[in-house]
């Protein structure tokens, strides 16, 4: 395969992985913002506990804890995706480096 075609293939693949990384980063930012909103809500709810019934406190905490659990799982998933995508980029860069090294050695001959 010609070097220019091979390089284009690597670069296109890297662009696709980079786009996926961007989506993961944006998703993580979204979930982080949502968690900050939830923690602020919990702080406000906590102030209301002074006048609340035991049942209200348990319900409020249970709902918030479920949402926190969901948010943590979602952010972990996105972080794992990002780690996987970053690993793919590293592998592509290694392959690209190998191809260029081999091409340079062939050119010396």
Question: Looking at per-residue confidence, does 9 or 3 come out higher?
Answer: 9
A 10 A CB-CB count for 55 gives 8
Specify the pLDDT at position 57: 79
Instruction: Identify the pLDDT of residue 61.
Output: 81
**Domain limits of the chain?**
3-108
Closest CA to 78 of 33, 48, 14: 33
Q: Which residues, including other chains, have CB under 8 Å from residue 67's CB and lie 6 or more apart?
A: 38
Per-residue confidence (pLDDT) for residue 44, from 0 to 100 = 81
Q: Do residues 99 and 13 make contact, with C-beta atoms less than 8 angstroms apart?
A: no
pLDDT tier for residue 1 given thresholds of 50, 70 and 90 = low
CA distances (Å), 84 to each of 3, 12, 15, 81, 90, in order? 27, 18, 15, 5, 10
Identify the band that residue 107 occupies on the pLDDT scale cut at 50, 70 and 90.
Answer: confident
pLDDT in tens, 28-86: 999 999 999 988 888 887 777 777 788 887 887 888 889 989 999 999 999 999 999 99
């Amino acid at each position: 395969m010609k070097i220019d075609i091979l390089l284009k293939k690597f670069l296109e693949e890297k662009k696709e992985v980079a786009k996926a990384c961007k989506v993961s980063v944006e998703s993580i930012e979204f979930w982080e913002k949502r968690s900050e909103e939830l923690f602020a809500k919990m702080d406000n709810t906590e102030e209301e506990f002074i006048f609340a019934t035991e049942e209200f406190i348990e319900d409020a905490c249970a709902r918030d804890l479920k949402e926190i659990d969901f948010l943590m799982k979602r952010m972990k998933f996105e972080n794992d995706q990002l780690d996987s995508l970053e690993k793919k980029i590293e592998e592509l860069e290694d392959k690209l480096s190998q191809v260029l090294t081999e091409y340079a050695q062939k050119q010396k001959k």
